[in-house]
Structure 1
Amino acid sequence: MIAVSDLPGAHRVRLTWRLFAPRRWPAWAAVAFLRASLYLPLGARVGIANVLGGLYYRGNAKRRRIAATNIRLCFPQWTAERQERAVREHFRLAALALFHMAVVWWGDERTLDRCLRVTGLEHYEAARAAGHNIVVLHCHCVGLEASLVLSRYFPYVGFAKPLKDPVLDFVMTRGRERFGGRVFAREAGMRPLIRAIKAGFGASYVPDEDLGPKESVYAPFFGVPAATLPTLGRLVRLTDAVVIPCFTRFLPDGGCELWLEPPLTNFPTNSAIGDATAMNTAIEQAVLKMPEQYLWTMKRFKTRDTGHSLYD
């Protein structure tokens, strides 16, 4: 296997003097707050997250409406009270995710082992022992950042969209690569990821977002037609890989669980819609284990075959 440092297409960040300009100080203050949170007891972090989550819920009406619309569409069997409770809980957990990012980016081995529980690694090890290339399927959820700890266990690469703020982009990228993994910029396209998979790296893939009609097919997500990227099937065909689903969820004690599942069977299928449907089904099954924790604040159903937005 080639060294991860030799992989072309990686997103490069450097610490330069321009990152310390006065207009960047608020970003550094936010970073310092997160870094300092590691020294708080877990219960205190949960308490602060409860307050921040409430402020986020009350202060961002746009995201609140998006989350409410998504949950209403995906869980129509819930009462209005249950749906509203899920929206509020989602915002609380989104705030808690900030403190878990600090654990992933800076926590020592003891802190990581105490706050993050990883199960199902045997599925990855068995697939690798059988000689398979591996794509790790994730979904957008509040605890997604915790998936980066997989690079503690095996060589791991993935995509990221560079942040507009250079300070936050620097800190986030360094945090994501601290265990030896590598981050590719989304703008680099699929070629670096394909090259890495063929070289034996586990590759993170998070395809469950609406990127418009050009590259998407319509596949059901909780029974709602959703513009879905069928790229996972093409990626598997190009790399002769298996797909191992891997998801994260916050636990009632404030910790986080990351679990890997057996490889998808009969995948890829014989059609793009079949691939997209199988992928959405795997994600649905994970969401049902943590229904408040999916990233309901993103416009998952933005592109409609009817042409009418659900978020107006």
Structure 2
Amino acid sequence: MAPASLVNTRIASGVVPFQFVTAAPRRRARIIMTAVFWLLSLLPLSWAQALGAWLGAGAARLPGRYGTRLQQNYLQAFPERTLAQLQEARRAAGRMLLEIPYFWMRNNPVEGLNIAPANFHEATDVLLAQGKGLILLSPHLGGFELLGPLFAQRYPSTVLFKPPHRPWLRDWVERTRSRPNLAMAPATPRGVRMLVKALKRGETIGILPDQCPGGGEGDWAPFFGKSAYTMNLVQRLQALSDAPIVLVFAERLPGARSYHIHMEVLTEPLSSDRQTAASHLNSKLEQLIARAPEQYLWGYNRYKHPRGA
């Protein structure tokens, strides 16, 4: 019997083969997503960033919560900033968005980029030689999507990501972002186990420490003068592995294909007190963001109150 006839027959009889009926729309959605990202990834990085800057400036001016939140969060942290700097923060958010296809879809997105300093990896080489693994923390700042492929060129790496709610989209993101030497770990119990295993193997893991965790998975701590629900996963992973922590971000420089890697090693382990650890971590993130405040993703809902928090 033809597939269409099979579906019609079962619907008429009251038995709907749910997986069969919904498979086609999901497959079409994956094909469309892949095609759109692939086409955008073909753009030279300078074009993608220019288009992103235009889209970012426009999106922030549309009615809705995004533009309002971006402005409020930015001025909450840096009230002395000018209108021109606010506009640059809007454009930088768009650049960040349009960089995603470039770094996700290309086989070697790092090729041809100007990365300074050239010896940025020397500090991480020394830390990894201790055999305890390495925890890299990068907030939503600058070209953070560059860091996964960049470090994976040198070390086996596992990066935590917040999975979309839809299963098909979650699977698509995980497959698309993975590459040789780079595994993606969803922010689920399975993903946390992946991080623990990577540290036990002496490898590198990457976490966005300003990602708002689910209820019961964080603690309230100040972030630019306002209380933010902050993950305690970093503290738990370090306590379990004794791995060193490095804060890192890729500052986007003029010239489109140029980035400066900023790194800071936390010389002392995080406190065993969760509240103290969360406050210390946010303080360090504030210092990192202050190096290039316009390149932070201020439109992200950093101050939301998760259910159960």
The TM tier, using the shorter chain, reads: 0.7 to 0.9
| Secondary structure in 2 matching 1:286 | helix
Q: What is the Cα deviation at residue 190 of structure 1?
A: 2.2
State how far apart, in whole Å, the 2-side matches of 1:28 and 1:64 are.
Answer: 28
Paired amino acid for 2:129: A
Structure 2 residue aligned with 1:181:
182
- For the structure 1 residues 223 and 177, does the alpha-carbon distance in structure 2 shift closer, same or farther, using more than 3 Å as the test? same
- For the structure 1 residues 286 and 299, does the alpha-carbon distance in structure 2 shift closer, same or farther, using more than 3 Å as the test? same
- For the structure 1 residues 219 and 251, does the alpha-carbon distance in structure 2 shift closer, same or farther, using more than 3 Å as the test? same
* Alignment of structure 1 residues 1-312 onto 2, 5 Å: 18=24, 21-22=27-28, 26-37=32-43, 40=44, 42-59=45-62, 61-76=64-79, 78-79=80-81, 82=82, 84-107=83-106, 109=108, 112-115=110-113, 117=115, 119=117, 120-141=120-141, 143-149=143-149, 150-163=151-164, 169=170, 172-187=173-188, 188-211=190-213, 214-257=216-259, 259=261, 261-303=263-305
How many percent of aligned residue pairs carry the same amino acid? 25
State which drifts further: 141-150 or 21-30: 21-30
How many equivalent residue pairs?
Answer: 281
Structure 2 unmatched runs, 5+: 1-22
| Secondary structure in 2 matching 1:226 | strand
Paired amino acid for 1:123: A
> How far does the alpha carbon of each residue in 1:120-153 deviate from its partner, in whole angstroms, 9 at most, with x for none?
2111101122333211111123522111121111
Q: What TM-score, normalized by structure 1, do the two folds share?
A: 0.78
State how far apart, in whole Å, the 1-side matches of 2:26 and 2:42 are.
Answer: 19
Q: What is the Cα deviation at residue 35 of structure 1?
A: 2.8
Q: What is the Cα deviation at residue 164 of structure 1?
A: 5.1
> How far does the alpha carbon of each residue in 1:21-78 deviate from its partner, in whole angstroms, 9 at most, with x for none?
54555434422421331xx4x44334322322233223353111111111121112x1
Larger radius of gyration: 2
| Secondary structure in 2 matching 1:131 | coil
Structure 2 residue aligned with 1:11:
none
State how far apart, in whole Å, the 2-side matches of 1:166 and 1:303 are.
Answer: 24
State how far apart, in whole Å, the 2-side matches of 1:233 and 1:108 are.
Answer: 34
State how far apart, in whole Å, the 2-side matches of 1:138 and 1:292 are.
Answer: 16
- For the structure 1 residues 32 and 268, does the alpha-carbon distance in structure 2 shift closer, same or farther, using more than 3 Å as the test? closer
State how far apart, in whole Å, the 2-side matches of 1:157 and 1:301 are.
Answer: 27
Paired amino acid for 1:237: A
Q: What is the Cα deviation at residue 287 of structure 1?
A: 0.5
- For the structure 1 residues 32 and 129, does the alpha-carbon distance in structure 2 shift closer, same or farther, using more than 3 Å as the test? closer
State how far apart, in whole Å, the 2-side matches of 1:160 and 1:152 are.
Answer: 19
- For the structure 1 residues 279 and 256, does the alpha-carbon distance in structure 2 shift closer, same or farther, using more than 3 Å as the test? farther
- For the structure 1 residues 60 and 167, does the alpha-carbon distance in structure 2 shift closer, same or farther, using more than 3 Å as the test? farther
- For the structure 1 residues 133 and 31, does the alpha-carbon distance in structure 2 shift closer, same or farther, using more than 3 Å as the test? closer
Q: What is the Cα deviation at residue 264 of structure 1?
A: 0.3
Paired amino acid for 1:236: Q
- For the structure 1 residues 51 and 225, does the alpha-carbon distance in structure 2 shift closer, same or farther, using more than 3 Å as the test? closer
State how far apart, in whole Å, the 1-side matches of 2:303 and 2:114 are.
Answer: 31
| Secondary structure in 2 matching 1:190 | helix
Bigger relative contact order (CA 8 A; separation at least 6): 1
Paired amino acid for 2:195: L
Paired amino acid for 1:220: P
